[in-house]
């Protein structure tokens, strides 16, 4: 039976069983921080539904569910991967060990004498078998069809499809016997190894087994290499396999190998489809009906298929990472990693190591080589949020990466080549940062190949109510959906939302939890008073045009911290005109 054991993290020592369904149908086990999932973990660093494990009799598969912090298997980020005994999973700050005590094929009780060796014959007319195999949808179904056919032709009483995984032979599928039903499935491992190595069909007889039997084994392969070994047995009392049986097996393993490859490719395609669906899943949808947002969506549709670098601009909370995610999952890189890094969230001395990795001994605490985000995202997309906060040394290395597609790890001398698309985002005016010598001008132009500006929520009020409906329908606290009263809607529409969509989401989620009754009322909406109200709703008093101009000019001057040159540029007037106005204002 397979199981997960927490070996590090808040739930240290917890153990979870992973039991397949009896008919080899897939059983899904979802891991996340949501209390309603199959394995809820008390870890704030993981997503509500972080990843899942599909468990079958034939094995287990790990699938990431579009988690924000990725799912790691043996220190490498994965989208989907087959699990083997002893694998280490890292989700957020929790590390788990996958254990599978499904019996390994034993080989200690056998000593066999080779009776005959048969080279694989030329392709024969096995159309009936090939047609049956082509209709199979899983490995077990495939081997069921194969074993039914081969048993009918050769008199085999039991059989297994053996695959070598992490240095040991395991039964991927079986016929005539259920692995583990009476102890571990048993096989002569010397015969299995020889079949796999030499590619010969071997006919042998056991000599020291408790149940003497005749054995037929043959390697099956495909364009990817060795797919496994077919191992057939027949009790000694039933007589030996004849030469015809050996020749039939030698010919039959060819279509079996082809169909094993087909099923593996189908599983990859299914996972690719899941990734595509996840790209438009609830937590990645861009919600809105305004013309301003439609322009952003049109840009995404045009820019996503290209390999070009994109600069996403917008205030905090407008959804820059959602746009970057949509650009990635709308491109041909959708099945490769999408790795995000907030450049402002890390100390200056760690940013370079996080981006480019480091060599062992590069600095105190660098006890091993570590791959950086660019190396982990090879073939995919790196999203650099708050790129304007990068140090000048990091900017220089990023510029080299954009121009030469290579970089050096911290403390390293050998260039590392990668093929990644870079999407950068900022809420700063990078042109002003260039003028202030805080951002490299050459890097700015390399990043600004394609540019999109996400308008703040106060400029697209048509999106507020659709967003509210979406947040209510996807309430993370669960419970019955609530409705907004008309007065509550009016209060939301009259607010200027300095924190944009992120602030709106927090306000709605708070109202859903703290509000009473079936409706959300104005009092349930916690908003700063007056400061956040739009001009049309704040306390307003009539004033002359000259007084309004004076108020505006002085606010612009306050915004530029007294810099009259910048203030004049923002106002669109000459500096001498600004001096004249200030003189008239006695300011």
- What kind of fold does domain 457-524 have according to CATH? Helicase, Ruva Protein; domain 3 (1.10.8)
Mean pLDDT per 10-residue segment, the chain (587 residues): 85 84 74 90 88 84 88 86 87 88 59 60 58 78 86 86 80 67 67 86 75 85 81 85 85 85 75 50 70 89 91 92 89 86 81 86 79 88 91 89 88 88 92 91 93 93 91 74 86 90 90 83 79 45 76 82 81 79 74
- Residues 306-335 have pLDDT tens digits of 999 999 999 988 999 999 988 998 888 888
Token pair 């364009």 is at which residue? 223
Percent of the chain as helix, strand, coil, to the nearest 5: 35, 25, 40
- Residues 203-246 have pLDDT tens digits of 888 766 566 788 889 998 877 778 889 999 888 888 888 888 88
**What is the per-residue pLDDT for 440?**
93
Q: How far apart are the first and last CA of the chain?
A: 80
pTM: 0.47
CATH architecture for residues 123-267? 2-Layer Sandwich (3.30)
Highest CATH level, class, for 2-100: mainly beta
Q: Which CATH superfamily is domain 545-586 in?
A: Homeodomain-like (1.10.10.60)
**What is the per-residue pLDDT for 475?**
77
Q: Are 37 and 121 in contact (CB under 8 A)?
A: no
Task: Give the chain's radius of gyration (CA, Å).
Answer: 32
CA distances from 393 to 85, 105, 350, 382, 432 (A): 43, 55, 12, 19, 19
Domain chopping of the chain, boundaries: 2-100, 123-267, 291-453, 457-524, 545-586
In terms of DSSP H, where are the helices of 346-421? 348-356, 373-376, 392-404
Highest CATH level, class, for 291-453: alpha beta
């Amino acid at each position: 039976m397979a199981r997960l054991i927490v070996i590090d993290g808040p739930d240290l020592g917890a153990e979870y069983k992973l039991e397949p369904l009896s008919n080899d149908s897939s059983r899904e086990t979802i891991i996340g921080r949501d209390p309603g999932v199959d394995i809820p973990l008390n870890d704030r660093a993981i997503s509500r539904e972080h990843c899942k494990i599909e468990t079958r009799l034939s094995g287990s598969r790990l699938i990431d569910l579009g988690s924000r912090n990725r799912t790691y298997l043996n220190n490498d980020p994965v989208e989907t991967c087959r699990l083997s005994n002893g694998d280490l999973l890292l989700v957020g700050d929790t590390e788990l060990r996958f254990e599978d005590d499904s019996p390994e094929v034993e080989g200690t009780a056998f000593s066999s004498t080779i009776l005959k060796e048969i080279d694989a014959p030329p392709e024969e007319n096995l159309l009936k078998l090939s047609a049956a195999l082509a209709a199979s949808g899983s490995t077990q179904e495939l081997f069921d069809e194969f074993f039914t056919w081969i048993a009918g032709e050769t008199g085999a009483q039991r059989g297994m499809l053996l695959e070598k995984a992490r240095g040991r032979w395991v039964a991927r599928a079986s016929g005539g016997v259920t692995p583990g039903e009476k102890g571990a499935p048993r096989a002569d491992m010397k015969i299995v190894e020889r079949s796999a190595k030499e590619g010969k069909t071997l006919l042998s007889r056991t000599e020291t087994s408790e149940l003497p039997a005749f054995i037929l084994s043959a390697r099956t392969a495909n364009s990817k290499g060795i797919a496994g070994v077919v191992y057939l047995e027949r009790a000694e009392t039933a007589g030996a396999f004849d030469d015809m049986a050996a020749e039939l097996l030698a010919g039959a393993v060819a279509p079996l190998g082809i169909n094993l490859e087909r099923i593996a490719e189908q599983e990859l395609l299914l996972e690719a489809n899941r990734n595509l669906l996840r790209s438009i899943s609830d937590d990645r949808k861009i919600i809105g009906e305004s013309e301003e947002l439609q322009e952003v969506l049109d840009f995404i549709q045009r820019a996503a298929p290209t390999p070009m670098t994109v600069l996403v601009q917008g205030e905090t909370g407008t959804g820059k990472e959602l746009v970057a995610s949509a650009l990635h999952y709308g491109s041909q890189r959708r099945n490769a990693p999408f790795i995000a890094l907030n450049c402002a969230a890390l100390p200056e001395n760690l940013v370079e190591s996080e981006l480019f990795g480091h060599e062992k001994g590069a600095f105190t605490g660098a006890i091993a080589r570590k791959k950086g985000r660019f190396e982990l995202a090879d073939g995919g997309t790196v999203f650099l949020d708050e790129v304007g906060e990068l140090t000048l040394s990091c900017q220089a290395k990023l510029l080299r990466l954009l121009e030469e597609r290579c970089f050096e790890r911290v403390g390293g001398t050998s260039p590392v080549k990668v093929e990644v698309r870079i999407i950068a985002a900022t809420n700063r005016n990078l042109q002003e940062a260039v003028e202030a010598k805080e951002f490299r001008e050459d890097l700015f132009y390399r990043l600004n190949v394609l540019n999109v500006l996400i308008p703040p929520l106060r400029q697209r009020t048509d999106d507020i109510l659709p967003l509210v409906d979406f947040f209510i329908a996807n309430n993370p606290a669960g419970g019955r959906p609530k409705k907004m009263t008309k007065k509550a809607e009016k209060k939301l529409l009259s607010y200027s939302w300095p924190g944009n969509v992120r602030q709106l989401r927090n306000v709605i989620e708070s109202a859903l939890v703290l509000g009473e009754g079936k409706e959300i009322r104005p009092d349930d909406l916690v908003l700063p008073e007056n400061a956040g109200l739009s001009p049309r709703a704040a306390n307003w008093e009539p004033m002359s045009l000259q007084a309004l101009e004076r108020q505006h000019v002085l606010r612009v001057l306050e915004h530029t911290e007294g810099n009259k040159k910048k203030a004049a540029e923002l106002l669109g007037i000459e500096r001498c005109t600004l001096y004249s106005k200030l003189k008239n204002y006695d300011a």
